[in-house]
Structure formats: structure tokens, C-alpha cells
């Protein structure tokens, strides 16, 4: 992981500070504040600020439902009920602000989640560092023959080494040309906003990303899934560990109903009922396409 001396000093100064407050404090989250959790070869995720905790979710729900919550025995039970029945607004009462350092191609996937507030490092104003994501050999894989947007088996031996050398050489060559085209004082050379267009998609960028818990759970449901691309999934996994400490009851319900659960179509549910009655169900008599049936079988096998 590559933190600049200025960033390290900033983190140390922030973690050294403390203050009394009347606002809600999550003890589990406090240990994560300003700490950089390493991701990939140069990336990280760190919490800058947060708002709310499990109790804030319940408080918001009880405002909405009024006296109806008297039958709820405890906060965890209420949170599980909210998650189970797809209630969203109580979870929106919690927010988190993250500082993330990530490759540009991962950022372009990430930004598809348009329900957050984002402020990215400006390559029009500042000069990007010579830092590129180079995958570990075990993550250099061939194109999947089943999934057009996924990878298959890892490349081996000389082929893997050849690909890695191309990635390293092309990245450094592009950055060499980037440096040639710009100047630190801004008096000579190409404008930074133009010079940046020659840089590869594996160069690292940084941003502040602020999102409420409901939309964060949606992000994590998609990006922490084993089908997600490895390079964004490891960021989601790092965030999951933070969220589990921040709102343990809400994360436990999310893990159970979303990450560990499954959404079945009407046809799939009909097949399950037929199977429970002892009927032999196949793809041919299920009413599903081959792709649907393959996914259905995968869910049943776990």
C-alpha cells in the first residue's frame, strides 16, 4: 500500500484527537476511523466519518410505525424484520464517508452506483503518481467461455509471465510519456487535463465516497458476491468488515437475507414445490431456459 508521508501524518494526527460528544457513537466503528485498510497492491479503504448505528435504524423505524413497534421484542428483531420485508428508509438514517484509493477501471465500475456522493482526485489540477495495479499471477486469467463478462482459468507459466510483462511495460511507458508531456510548474508542456488521456486504466485514483447504509447494502450485495469481478470484490469485502463492526445487527441481517439468501422467480418457486412433493423436475419440464436452470441448480446446491 502506498500512502504519502502527508497522508500518514494526517492519519496519525486525526487518530490522536478525541472529543466529547452528544452524538451517537458506534464503538465498533471508532476503531476504524482514519485507519487505512490495504486493498490490492497500492489501494486502501479508510473511514473518514459516519453517522448513526443500529439504534438509529430502530429509532427511525419507530417514528414511522408509531405504536406498532410495541410488539417488537428487541432492536435486532426489528432490524431483521425491516431487512426481511425490504424496508429501506430506516437504513438510510445511517451514513458513512470513505476515502478510497483504487484503479481507474475499478472506479468506473464503482461509479455505476449512482446513489452516493463522490469527489475524485483531479488529474486536471494535480499530477497522478506512478502507481499501477498489476494483478498477482493467480489472478491473470483467460476469458470465460460461459460468462462473456467474466474470467476463466488462470494462465500458467510463460503465458502468464508474458501478460504481466506487457502490463508492466505498457503502464510505465505510458507514464514516461505522461511525464514528458507535462511540467511541474505549469509553464511549459501540455496541459495536465490533456496529458492524462494517455494514461492506462490501471493507474490509481482516489476519491471520497459518502453513502447511506441502505444504498451501501445494495452496493455490497452486488460487489461482495462471488460473481463480481475480483478487483472490486476485494474492496467490497474490506468494507463489509467495517460495516460488520459499525452496525452488527444490521449487517447480520444483511448477511443472512441478502448475501446468504436467494431471490427465486415464480417458476423457480413452483419447481421447489414440485420437488418437495417428490416430483422429478428437469430443465425440460421446468419452464426455464438453460441459463435460468443452471443458476437455479447453483442456488440449490449452495
Positions marked catalytic: 223
Annotated binding residue 27: no
What letter does residue 144 receive in the DSSP assignment? P
Is 65 annotated as ligand-binding?
A: no
Q: Is residue 48 part of an annotated ligand binding site?
A: no
Q: Are 223 and 116 in contact (CB under 8 A)?
A: no
Cα within 13 Å of Cα(243), Cβ side: 30
Q: Establish whether 114 is an annotated binding residue.
A: yes
Question: Which of these, 201, 197, 239, lies nearest to 218 by C-alpha position?
Answer: 239
- The annotation status of 227 as a binding-site residue, yes or no, is no
Residue 110 marked in a binding site: yes
DSSP string computed for 2-57: ---HHHHHHHHHHHH-----SS---HHHHTTBTPPEEETTTEEEEEEEEE--HHHH
Say whether 214 counts as a known binding-site residue. yes
> Are the C-beta atoms of 240 and 224 separated by less than 8 Å?
yes
Strands 141-143, 151-154: pairing kind = antiparallel
Q: Is 86 annotated as a binding residue?
A: no
Annotated binding-site residue? 121 = yes
Residues tagged in the binding site annotation? 89, 109-114, 120-124, 196, 212-214, 218, 223
The binding site for FAD consists of 89, 112-114, 120, 212-214, 218
Q: Mark the binding-site residues for dUMP, compressed into ranges.
A: 109-112, 120-124, 196, 223
Amino acid at each position: 500500500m502506498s500512502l504519502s508521508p502527508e497522508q500518514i501524518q494526517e492519519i496519525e494526527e486525526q487518530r490522536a484527537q478525541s472529543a466529547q460528544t452528544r452524538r451517537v457513537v458506534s464503538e465498533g466503528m471508532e476503531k476504524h476511523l482514519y485507519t487505512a485498510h490495504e486493498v490490492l497492491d497500492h489501494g486502501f479503504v479508510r473511514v473518514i466519518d459516519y453517522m448513526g448505528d443500529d439504534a438509529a435504524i430502530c429509532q427511525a423505524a419507530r417514528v414511522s410505525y408509531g405504536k406498532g413497534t410495541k410488539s417488537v421484542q428487541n432492536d435486532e428483531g426489528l432490524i431483521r424484520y425491516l431487512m426481511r420485508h425490504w424496508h429501506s428508509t430506516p437504513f438510510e438514517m445511517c451514513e458513512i464517508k470513505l476515502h478510497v484509493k483504487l484503479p481507474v477501471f475499478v472506479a468506473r465500475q464503482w461509479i455505476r452506483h449512482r446513489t452516493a456522493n463522490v469527489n475524485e482526485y483531479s488529474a486536471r489540477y494535480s499530477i497522478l503518481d506512478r502507481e499501477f495495479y498489476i494483478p498477482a499471477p493467480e489472478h491473470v486469467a483467460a476469458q470465460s467461455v460461459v460468462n462473456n463478462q467474466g474470467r476463466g482459468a488462470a494462465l500458467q507459466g510463460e503465458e502468464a509471465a508474458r501478460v504481466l510483462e506487457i502490463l508492466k511495460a505498457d503502464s510505465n511507458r505510458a507514464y514516461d510519456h505522461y511525464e514528458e508531456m507535462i511540467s511541474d510548474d505549469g509553464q511549459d508542456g501540455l496541459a495536465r487535463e490533456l496529458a492524462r488521456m494517455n494514461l492506462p486504466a490501471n493507474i490509481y485514483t482516489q476519491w471520497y465516497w459518502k453513502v447511506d447504509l441502505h444504498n451501501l447494502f445494495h452496493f455490497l450485495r452486488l460487489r461482495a458476491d462471488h460473481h463480481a469481478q475480483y478487483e472490486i470484490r476485494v474492496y467490497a469485502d474490506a468494507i463489509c468488515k467495517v460495516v460488520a463492526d459499525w452496525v452488527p445487527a444490521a449487517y447480520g441481517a444483511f448477511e443472512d437475507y441478502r448475501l446468504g439468501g436467494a431471490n427465486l422467480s415464480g417458476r423457480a418457486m413452483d419447481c421447489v414445490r414440485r420437488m418437495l412433493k417428490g416430483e422429478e423436475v428437469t430443465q425440460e419440464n421446468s419452464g426455464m431456459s438453460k441459463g435460468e436452470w443452471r443458476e437455479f441448480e447453483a442456488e440449490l446446491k449452495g
